[in-house]
Amino acid sequence: MTIQWFPGHMAKARRQVTEKLSLIDVVIELADARVPAASRNPMIDEIISNKPRLLLLNKADLADPRITQQWLAHYEKQGVMAIAIDAASGQGLKAIISSCEILVKEKFDKMRSKGIKPRAIRALIVGIPNVGKSTLINKLARKNIAKTGDRPGVTQAQQWIKVGKEIELLDTPGILWPKFEDQLVGLRLATTGAIKDSIINLQEVMIYAIKYLREFYPNVLKDRYDMNEEVLFSEEVVDIFDHIGKKRGLLMSGGMIDYDKTSDLFLRELRAGKLGRLTFENPSMLEVTDEILEES
């Protein structure tokens, strides 16, 4: 689902997350491992305030494993607990439970010392659209959806999902917005398919992706599209469009290359992982991203 964010939507989304915070012990925040900074909400720290938080870099199966390690080291340095997962296949899901246990230990120890009986950890999953929230909930849920609306403090019936004995998840995730009105963040999100029918032009997205790949993963383009160096490093990016369009037979009447179809095919292949495991930002680029976030 693609959501167009307007100030009213953002305020409502924020309110919905804030309302649920009082019901839970820990926030499980999903980001996309291919664009860990661009796929996070710029106001997340403010929104979740001082709730313990676990950051999951999802779709790690599509991301460059070397850069994912760099991101995990970066978050560790910042004191943010983060793990890489692949919600679609279930890779890394066990670590979610053990990490949540660490995050709530102090609170639960206090509860125990006051004689309060141990209970399951209550968690809320949050993240921007398409980051994999429903996939993760379904994977964790198996069939353990339990209706438990009559808890003290729960004014409205909430569905909780049991994950083993240790965790209960709120069944509806908190949807957050990205900062996609920023050009660079928007291009990164569009490259990975997080924004589908956006106002961003597909050809522009392909130009961004090509320039990025040329710099960081030149062999990927060479190998996938059988491209020589002259085309790959041509000053005119259109030469790369022509090469790929011709290779794939994407011609209009008159033999001209169909650039719309070329961008569509190229981005579909890239997003599906056919060009390999790729990441479109690394922690050393954060200064730039931080500036963007500060402007928000």
Q: Left, alpha or beta for 167 (phi > 0: left; psi -120 to 50: alpha)?
A: beta
Q: How many CB atoms lie within 10 A of CB 182?
A: 18
Of the ranges 53-61, 104-112, 150-158, 286-294, which one interacts with ligand G4P (CB under 6 A)?
A: 53-61
CB nearer to ligand G4P: pick between 29 and 86:
86
Q: How far is the CB of 91 from ligand G4P (least distance, A)?
A: 8
Of the ranges 65-73, 75-83, 131-139, 236-244, which one interacts with ligand G4P (CB under 6 A)?
A: 131-139
Closest C-alpha to 156, from 176, 172, 145 = 172
Candidate residues 34, 59, 122, 188; the one interacting with ligand G4P per rule CB under 6 A: 59
| Contact flag: residue 39 with ligand G4P (CB under 6 A) | no
Whole-number Cα distances in Å, 14 to 171, 236, 294: 17, 43, 19
Q: How far is the CB of 128 from ligand G4P (least distance, A)?
A: 7
Q: How far is the CB of 90 from ligand G4P (least distance, A)?
A: 9
| Contact flag: residue 129 with ligand G4P (CB under 6 A) | yes
Cα(172)–Cα(13) distance, integer angstroms: 12
CB nearer to ligand G4P: pick between 64 and 86:
86
| Contact flag: residue 53 with ligand G4P (CB under 6 A) | no
- Burial (CB < 10 A; 0-12, 13-18, 19+), residue 94, is exposed
Max Cα–Cα distance, the chain, nearest Å: 80
Candidate residues 36, 52, 127, 283; the one interacting with ligand G4P per rule CB under 6 A: 127
Q: How far is the CB of 87 from ligand G4P (least distance, A)?
A: 4
| Contact flag: residue 36 with ligand G4P (CB under 6 A) | no
Number of residues counted as binding ligand G4P (CB under 6 A) = 16
| Contact flag: residue 245 with ligand G4P (CB under 6 A) | no
Q: How far is the CB of 78 from ligand G4P (least distance, A)?
A: 23
CB nearer to ligand G4P: pick between 37 and 128:
128
Q: How far is the CB of 24 from ligand G4P (least distance, A)?
A: 18
Of the ranges 108-116, 129-137, 143-151, 256-264, which one interacts with ligand G4P (CB under 6 A)?
A: 129-137
Q: How far is the CB of 92 from ligand G4P (least distance, A)?
A: 9
The residues that touch ligand G4P, with contacts defined as CB under 6 A, are 58-59, 61-62, 86-88, 127, 129-135, 193
